[in-house]
Chain A
Amino acid sequence: MADFRMPSLGADMETGTVSEWLVKPGDSIRKGDPIAVIDTDKALIEVESFHTGVVGRLVVNTGERVPVGTTLAVVDERTPAERAPAEPSPPPPEPSPAHVLSPLVRRLAAERGMDLTSLRGTGPGDTVTRADVERAAGPEGTVPPGRTEPAAGRATTGPATVPAPPAPPEPARSKASPLARRLARELDLDLATVPGTGRTGAVRADDVRRAAAVRSDAARHAPPVNAPGQAVRQDERREQAMRQAIARAMTRSKREIPHYYLTSTIDMSTALAWLRERNRELPVSERVLPAALLLKAAATAAAEVPRLNGFWIDDGFVPGEAVHLGMAISLKGGGLIAPALHDAAGRDLADLMAGMKDLVSRVRSGRLRAAEMTEATMTVTNLGDQGVESVHGVIYPPQVALVGFGRILERPWAVHGLLGVRPLVTVTLAADHRATDGYTGGRFLAAVGRLLDHPAEL
C-alpha cells in the first residue's frame, strides 16, 4: 500500500483542498496519471500519481482543507495476481457484481477503461447493465480515465465515489531530527503527516512547529459545509487565502534572502525591428510578442550564468537541471502566480510564445500541472504592460534570482556620440547574495543585453 499525500506545490503552500477527485476506488492508475485537482488557494492544480496500482480508499473528502503531507488516498501497488485473495472492497455501500455480465457490458466497460467492480448494477439481481456503464462513464464516456483532459465531474458521476472515513494514523516515518520528534510528541502531532524540508525530506523542528500552526489555523478556519448561497463568501475566503499565501512567501523571502539589485538599460531597436520583420510574414496566431523575446533572452542568459538558476536549500546552492522559467502572471481577480515554462532556454521562440499563451490561459481559466507549480528555477516578471519603467522584485524562495522587465519606451539615447530616439527597456535583477555576488549578476545582465542585440540567434 502506498499513500498519496497532499503535495507541497510551492514555498507558500501550507494547506490544500481536494477540489475534485479524478479517480475512484477500484480505478487502475499508472504513475503520472492525474489523480486529483488540488486547490492551493492560488490555483487549481492537477496532481499526478507517484504510484502505479489500484486506488484503494479516498481518505479525504472533496472540499476538505488539510496540511501538506496529509494522506489523501491509499494506492494498492500489488499486481492483480498478488491481490487475488478476496478482499472486501473498500467503500461499504458497493455491492460487488458477482452477477453475470453481458459481453456487451464487458466490452463497453473495457473500451472506457472502467473497472466493473466499481459499478453498482441496477439490472435484475443488481446486474450491471449497459446503462450503468454509460451513466458511470459520464457524457464524455469515450475518453478513458487518466488520459488527456480529465472531464470535470467524472469522479462524482460514478456511484462508488463516496469517500471512506479517515484512515487510521500512519506509522511515523523514520526520517526526523530528535528535536522534531520531541516537539511532535509534545504537540501531539503525527510525524508522518509533517512534510519534511530537511535533506532527503527529513522532518526538522521548524517543520513540526509549522505543521502545528497550520493545524490550529485549519481548525479555526474549517471550511463551512457547502451550502447554497455561499459562493460569494467562498470567493472572498479564496481571495483572502491567496493574499495570505503571497504574504507568507514574500515575508519569508525578505526575512531570509539578502537581496541585491542590479539594473541595466537595453536598446531594443534591433530586437524590435527583427521581430517586426519576422511577424510581417506570419498570421496573427503565429506572431511573437516582445515579451516572449524578453523571456527567451532571460532564459538563455540564465543558461549561460547557471549560478543564478536554481535553489538555495539548506545553506547551499542547488543548480536547476534546466532553465524552467517562472512567469509571473497577475490574476484578473487580484493576486499573482508564477508557474514554470519548462526548458525555456532549450525551446525556440515560437514554441516559447505558444507555451506562454497556453500558460496564461490555463492560469486564468483552467488548471495548472503540479510540475509547473514546483519546478521554476528562476522567475521573470514583466510589468511593462502597466507602463511601469522598472521593477525591483522579491525573490520567490527557494529560488535565487528574479528578473524584472519594465515597459519598452522611446527615449533619447546616445549611440556612437550621436543622440537619437530609441526604444529602451530597463531590466532588473534581484538576486540572493548568499548564492551569488554582483559580479555574477552583472554577467547575467550583460548577457541579456548582448542576446537582445542579436535576436536572430535567440
Chain B
Amino acid sequence: MTPEQARQYVEDALGRVAPDARLQDIPPDADFRDLFELDSLDFLSYVENLSEASGRRIDEDDYPEITTMAGAVGFLARSTP
C-alpha cells in the first residue's frame, strides 16, 4: 500500500468519527485523541473503520502506533507489500 493510499484510509476512518475535523492540516505527530477530543469509544470506532477499509488486522498492541497520522500511515504502508 502506498503512503498516499494509507493516508486516504486514515482520513476516511477519522472523518467518520470526527465529521468536523479538518483532515488536510493534521500535524503528522499529533495524537488524534487530543486533537479531535476522541474518547475511548470514538477511538474504537476509528480503529474499526480503519481495519475494515484497509483490510488490515489491527490488534490492541498496535493502538499506540496508529494514534498519529505519521504512525498510522507508516503502520498501514508497512503492512502489505
B47 lies within 8 A of chain A by Cβ? yes
Binding site for B on A (CB under 8 A): 276, 279-280, 283-285, 287, 289-291, 332, 356-357, 360, 384-385
Please, which residue of chain A has its CB at the minimum distance from the CB of B47?
Answer: A284
Q: Tell me whether B44 and A289 are in contact (CB under 8 A).
A: yes
Q: Mark B28-59, 1 if CB is under 8 A from A, else 0.
A: 00000000010111001101100110000011
Q: Tell me whether A291 and B40 are in contact (CB under 8 A).
A: yes
Q: Tell me whether B60 and A279 are in contact (CB under 8 A).
A: yes
Residues of A within 8 A of B39 (CB): 385
Q: Tell me whether A287 and B41 are in contact (CB under 8 A).
A: no
| 29 sampled A-B residue pairs with Cβ under 8 A | A276-B60, A279-B60, A280-B59, A280-B60, A283-B51, A284-B44, A284-B47, A284-B48, A284-B51, A284-B52, A284-B58, A285-B48, A287-B44, A287-B60, A289-B40, A289-B41, A289-B44, A290-B40, A291-B40, A291-B41, A332-B37, A356-B41, A357-B41, A357-B44, A357-B45, A360-B41, A384-B40, A385-B39, A385-B40
Please, which residue of chain A has its CB at the minimum distance from the CB of B50?
Answer: A284
In the complex, the number of residue pairs spanning A and B with C-beta atoms less than 8 Å apart equals: 29
Q: Mark B16-38, 1 if CB is under 8 A from A, else 0.
A: 00000000000000000000010
Q: Report Cα–Cα, A248/B26, bound state, in Å.
A: 40
Residues of A within 8 A of B52 (CB): 284
Q: Report Cα–Cα, A265/B51, bound state, in Å.
A: 35
Q: Report Cα–Cα, A284/B40, bound state, in Å.
A: 13
Please, which residue of chain A has its CB at the minimum distance from the CB of B59?
Answer: A280
Q: Report Cα–Cα, A77/B52, bound state, in Å.
A: 50
Residues of A within 8 A of B47 (CB): 284
User: Given contacts A284-B52, A385-B39, could you give 6 more A-B pairs where the C-beta distance is less than 8 Å?
Assistant: A280-B60, A284-B51, A287-B44, A287-B60, A356-B41, A360-B41
Binding site for A on B (CB under 8 A): 37, 39-41, 44-45, 47-48, 51-52, 58-60
Q: Report Cα–Cα, A287/B52, bound state, in Å.
A: 14
Residues of B within 8 A of A289 (CB): 40-41, 44
Report the minimum CB–CB distance from B17 to chain A (whole Å).
10
Report the minimum CB–CB distance from A117 to chain B (whole Å).
43
Residues of B within 8 A of A332 (CB): 37
B39, B40, B60 — most chain A CB neighbours (10 Å): B39
Q: Report Cα–Cα, A289/B58, bound state, in Å.
A: 15
Q: Report Cα–Cα, A276/B59, bound state, in Å.
A: 10
Please, which residue of chain B has its CB at the minimum distance from the CB of A276?
Answer: B60
Report the minimum CB–CB distance from B64 to chain A (whole Å).
14
Report the minimum CB–CB distance from A337 to chain B (whole Å).
14
Residues of B within 8 A of A357 (CB): 41, 44-45
Please, which residue of chain A has its CB at the minimum distance from the CB of B39?
Answer: A385
Residues of A within 8 A of B45 (CB): 357
Please, which residue of chain A has its CB at the minimum distance from the CB of B38?
Answer: A385
Q: Report Cα–Cα, A287/B59, bound state, in Å.
A: 10
Residues of A within 8 A of B44 (CB): 284, 287, 289, 357
Q: Report Cα–Cα, A289/B44, bound state, in Å.
A: 8
Report the minimum CB–CB distance from B74 to chain A (whole Å).
19
Q: Report Cα–Cα, A279/B58, bound state, in Å.
A: 11
Report the minimum CB–CB distance from A365 to chain B (whole Å).
9
Report the minimum CB–CB distance from A230 to chain B (whole Å).
21
Q: Report Cα–Cα, A276/B41, bound state, in Å.
A: 16
Q: Report Cα–Cα, A290/B48, bound state, in Å.
A: 17
Q: Report Cα–Cα, A128/B54, bound state, in Å.
A: 51
Residues of A within 8 A of B41 (CB): 289, 291, 356-357, 360
Q: Report Cα–Cα, A357/B40, bound state, in Å.
A: 11
Please, which residue of chain B has its CB at the minimum distance from the CB of A288?
Answer: B44
Please, which residue of chain B has its CB at the minimum distance from the CB of A386?
Answer: B39
Q: Report Cα–Cα, A356/B39, bound state, in Å.
A: 13
Q: Ordered nearest first, which 8 A-B pairs have the shortest CB separation? A: A385-B39, A284-B48, A284-B51, A289-B40, A284-B47, A285-B48, A360-B41, A385-B40
Residues of B within 8 A of A283 (CB): 51
Residues of B within 8 A of A280 (CB): 59-60
B40, B41, B45 — most chain A CB neighbours (10 Å): B41
Q: Report Cα–Cα, A276/B61, bound state, in Å.
A: 9
Report the minimum CB–CB distance from A289 to chain B (whole Å).
5
Q: Report Cα–Cα, A357/B42, bound state, in Å.
A: 9
Report the minimum CB–CB distance from B75 to chain A (whole Å).
14
Report the minimum CB–CB distance from A294 to chain B (whole Å).
11
Please, which residue of chain B has its CB at the minimum distance from the CB of A289?
Answer: B40
Residues of B within 8 A of A285 (CB): 48
Residues of B within 8 A of A360 (CB): 41
Please, which residue of chain B has its CB at the minimum distance from the CB of A359?
Answer: B41
Residues of A within 8 A of B48 (CB): 284-285
Report the minimum CB–CB distance from A405 to chain B (whole Å).
12
